[in-house]
Amino acid sequence: MSLNIPETSKRRLVVIGAGFAGLRLVEKLKGSNFQIVLIDRNNFHQFQPLFYQVAVAGLEPSSIAFPLRRMFQKSYQIFIRLTEVTHISTESKTVHTLNGALSYDVLVVATGAATNFFGMDQLAARSFGMKTVGEALGIRNTILKNYEMALVADSDEERNALMKIVIVGGGPTGVELSGALADMRRFVLPKDYPDLDFRQMQIFLIEASPTLLNGMSEQSSCKAAEFLTNMGVNVMTNEQVTGYENNIVQLKDGKTLNSATVIWAAGVTGAPPGGFNEHQLGRGRRLVVDAFNRVKGESDVYAIGDIAFMDDPDMPRGHPQVAQVALQQAKNLAANLKRKELSDWKPFKYKDKGSMATIGRNKAVVDLPFLKFQGMFAWFVWMFVHLISIIGVRNKLFIFINWVWNYVTYDQSLRLIIRQRVPKKD
């Protein structure tokens, strides 16, 4: 097998990953003097900040995904290949994939990050991550299926486990998912399941550090904890999950929680392709890059987004693994690749535009460089920023309609348990 990329006199740029960083880079280089090959395991771009809304039946998956081929329909020097990269040979400048090998002149790695279970195989096998649309759909299916099973449970203990949800990780994903589930418990599920007592539906948010939203201000962190507590979420800080087996969540202090659903949002780790040595990997298995996003020890290999660890004295722990960093690095690298002389290249400098998180209906926290605020106005700001960031007019329209409908009716109309049937092959 081969990737069937035509030979050309243009330099070939291979981009691995169609997340925020990879997609923005290709967009910025569209029409440039490169033949561009974009490789991803999916044929669509995923808007990760709204995965949690798919998980709670607030949005359909198609609203937060956009087909890659539609985006580049009239770009004849951009080739999209749906495959997985198995290995990179930097000496021969070759990318090896499941569908064959491909040579490159310039390589950009934008593979993002994967869920980090910190070596706990039990949790990796039995809990849900929140890094793909598929995982978000799996959470939705499991939660709804559990309440169907709770209706016919043989014992109170079994019913309690089916109705209890444990979320590990107090970052934006964990906080936003906890708030959305609390709203679902209050406004939606009791109408669907009048036979169940939803006082038994307990939501636990477990965070190993002393505070939630560690990347945000103390003011926002405290307000988020206050919002969630008032919504009935059991917020547990300074607590760690050490194991999960037979529906029993084990905590470091010896306590246990009986739950059939554990969602892991406690951390991420870099997902570099094979072929890089340990000296090229930094904190969190991210590829070490210089100020121009060039991978350590390489001349024509670059890394951008969550996979890149830039040696910046101002950020010894690396840049935050958020969309804004990925977008800004992609823009800067694209501008540099268009410049003929290396002496004209400009180093990357991150401009922090702020951060935000929503905590359910009419509640959010926003940290801007010049202002911090919380509450309903912050919630509207959060919705506006995310809505304009979505790719595609159709997606923006459908998300807006869903949000308005959910707000007016106190309902989410996408509570579907979708099972996949795969036909057998000879």
Same domain, 202 and 281: no
Using CA atoms, how far apart are residues 231 and 341, in angstroms rounded to an integer?
57
Domain check: are 190 and 89 in the same one? no
Ordered alpha helix ranges (H), 92-217: 121-126, 133-151, 156-163, 172-187, 189-192
Residue 89 resides in a domain = yes
| 322 φ/ψ angles, rounded to the nearest 5 degrees | -130, 165
| Helices 323-338 and 20-29, axial angle in degrees (round to 10) | 30
pLDDT level of residue 426 (50, 70, 90 thresholds)? low
The encoded tokens of residue 360 equal: 């359910």
Do 71 and 156 belong together in one domain?
no
Tell me, yes or no, whether 226 and 215 share the same domain.
yes
| Residues 129 and 258 occupy one common structural domain | yes
The number of distinct structural domains making up the chain is 2
Instruction: Answer yes or no: are the C-beta atoms of 366 and 372 closer than 8 Å.
Output: yes
Q: What is the pLDDT of residues 401-410, one digit of tens each?
A: 999 999 999 8
* CATH (domain of 260): 3.50.50.100
pLDDT value of residue 1: 59
Of 17, 282, 371, residue with least CA distance to 290:
282
SS3 content of the chain, % helix, strand, coil (to 5): 35, 25, 40
Placement of tokens 């990318």 in the chain? 95
- Taking the C-alpha atoms of residue 316 and residue 322, their distance in angstroms, rounded to an integer, is 16
Cα dihedral 24, 30, 33, 34 sign: positive
% pLDDT > 90, the chain: 81
Cβ atoms of 286 and 265 closer than 8 Å: no
User: What integer pLDDT is reported at residue 422 of this predicted model?
Assistant: 53
**Within a domain: residue 395?**
no
41 CB-contact burial (10 Å; exposed 0-12 / middle 13-18 / buried 19+): middle
Does 372 fall in a domain?
no
**Looking at the domain assignment, is residue 56 inside a domain?**
yes
Q: Which domain holds residue 100?
A: 11-114+269-344
Residue recorded with tokens 């960031």:
389
Q: Exposed, middle or buried, 262 (CB in 10 Å: 0-12/13-18/19+)?
A: buried
- At 134, which amino acid appears? G
Read off the pLDDT of each residue in 151-160 and give the average, rounded to a whole number.
Answer: 93
Strand, coil or helix: what is 367? strand
Residue 34 and residue 83 in one domain: yes
- Is it the case that residue 81 has pLDDT exceeding 70? yes
d(CA 157, CA 258): 8
Q: What share of the chain has pLDDT > 70, as a percent?
A: 98
- The pTM of the full predicted model, rounded to 2 decimals, is 0.92
| Assigned token pair, 365 | 């926290």
Residue 121 has, within 13 A of its CA and on its CB side, a CA count of 0
Q: pLDDT tens across 304-350, in order?
A: 999 999 978 888 888 999 999 999 999 999 999 999 788 899 999 99
Rg for the chain, CA atoms, rounded? 23
Q: Which domain-ending residue is among 242, 266, 290?
A: 266
